[in-house]
Structure 1
Amino acid sequence: MKRLDKIVSFVGENKMVADIGSDHGITAIKIYEEKNPKKVIATDISAPSLQKLKDKLKHSGYEIETIVTDGLKNLPMDIEEAVISGMGANLIVNILRGNLDLSRSLEKIITSPNNSLEYYRRWLMDNGFTIINDEKIEDEGVLYDVVVIKYTGENTSYNSEYEYMYGKDNLANKNPYTIKEIEQEIARNHGILEKFSGIDSARITDRIEELKVKNQKLEELLCELKN
């Protein structure tokens, strides 16, 4: 599982780590097996989901603590790193807000939002979180983003809207999966334009022009990334 491998690769060795929204505990178990942690805490708002992890742990002998809680709430302040993945950006933001004292004290937070990346990056930078690593990957034909953050208290900003949309690191490194994402977006826009063809409506005409301008800019960006 490439996405899981990438997420766990960012976890530090010999750290106290919390896996937030752990569900069946796949990430927590991988951290325990590969990162020699001081301790792993697996949390979830769903007691039945965590019970499935508890059942696994009975047979494995792994010492992973399970806590039923909402996000980072009611967790010990000596946690050093956290993983928050497999959920939408809005939910991750709410989790960070839910215990700002802990969010701000963590050495590192490895996140993997599955939507609204532009909003997520803007929120982080407007609220004192620094993006340490930002990488797009592909796993079984699906594109994912892994965004590693740390609270520094510095409100920063990017230079272009595309850095918020696709990630500054991905553009700087000419990430092949970011190139693929932009190609897919251009293709989707072309598909919409074809559907709009022949429709006589002022609103549709405006939308057609908007999509044409957007695709032209994306084509220019794509050209830069491929050269």
Structure 2
Amino acid sequence: MILDVRNIHTYYGESHALQGVSLSLEAGETVCLLGRNGAGKSTTLRSIMGLTPPREGQILFDGQDIAGAPTWRIARSGIGLVPEDRRIFPTLSVRENLEISEYHRPGAARTWTVERIFDQYPMLAELADRDGGHLSGGQQQMLAVARSLMSEPRVLLLDEPNEGLAPVIVQQIGQLIDDLSKTATILFTDQSVHFALRHARRAYILEKGRIVHTADSQDLLRDTETQHRYLSV
């Protein structure tokens, strides 16, 4: 097991956002985290990444407890986050956004370089000299994912990768998740149940800061009663 989240409790001030969340990922798995707005999906990813550290519980990455560790240390250990708002550098070019994010973990094989990113994603190569702030939403999302790859993550966290994107770009993001799942372990959130279940092997459902259901994606796809109970708006 590469990532094992055990009974974490996370707060925003006095607000108890996560109330004993537990989930786990085997190496190479792609898992989705579902739930209505405000259920705690983004907070779960932020807790894993150390941005909102849990007050209680453990987060084991390769057997080491990283709960409460500084975010930079978690990133360097091999976990990458693509946040919902993308956080690209608007005044830097696409190439510079990639270069500034490059990190080579000692002892790890070098997999991702700027050249490989451009070979793999020609759209970014065509935009190499364009500032990040002048990209479309879909282009920014592709850059945000590519930038995260420059740190050679073993686990990739994607927070709402399709937020605000056109349907044709959503298809490209789905293909990107499928491609990355061949070499990385992925945990992602998404508002579209059908998109998430098409591209994930397993699913967890959050409600009011608690995991209330877990299932194989294909089983949950057929389980319309559970979808309606926990995911319908």
**Above 0.5 in TM-score?**
no
TM-score in terms of structure 1 length: 0.36
Bigger CA radius of gyration: 1
- Relative to total residues, which structure has the larger helix share, 1 or 2? 1
Using the size of structure 2 for normalisation, the TM-score is 0.36
Q: Which has the higher contact order (CA 8 A, sep 6+)?
A: 2
